[in-house]
Amino acid sequence: MRKKNQFTISGKTLPVKIYNGRPAVDVREICDATGGDNVLWDQSKKIWEAYVLDLPEGAISLEGSKDVMDPGVLGMGQHWGLPTEFPLGPIYGVEKGKVSLY
């Protein structure tokens, strides 16, 4: 039986709160439940948007950093990947806590 005040993701049950008459779950709790690496907020729009960086489990920084907010390579950001997939990739570009596309 499903409870209306709970949300389950990745096997973890998170509390649901009512916000402006609608059910909501804290994005940081979702990030933690899924093993996400970072949460950023874009408040530049009328509606706030959250961005969750969730690299594959076991991904490592090719520059040796453990912080997804480190600047990495000048003009390129950081490079992350799974050691089991080297040298062919994929390689994930991360700049200022967000996946970047080249």
The string of pLDDT tens digits covering residues 67-89 is 888 888 887 889 999 999 988 88
- pLDDT band of residue 19 (cuts 50, 70, 90) is confident
Res 102: pLDDT: 52
Using the structure block, give the residue that is written with the tokens 């600047």: 71
Where exactly are the structural domains of the chain? 55-102
At residue 101, the pLDDT reads: 61
Q: Average pLDDT in the 23-51 region?
A: 84
pLDDT at 85: 92
Q: How far apart are CA 93 and CA 102, in angstroms?
A: 8
When pLDDT is cut at 50, 70 and 90, the band that residue 14 belongs to is very high
Give the number of other CB atoms < 10 A from CB of residue 81. 20
d(CA 95, CA 48): 20
Residues 6+ apart with CB under 8 A from 18: 24
Q: What token pair was written down for 19?
A: 């916000």
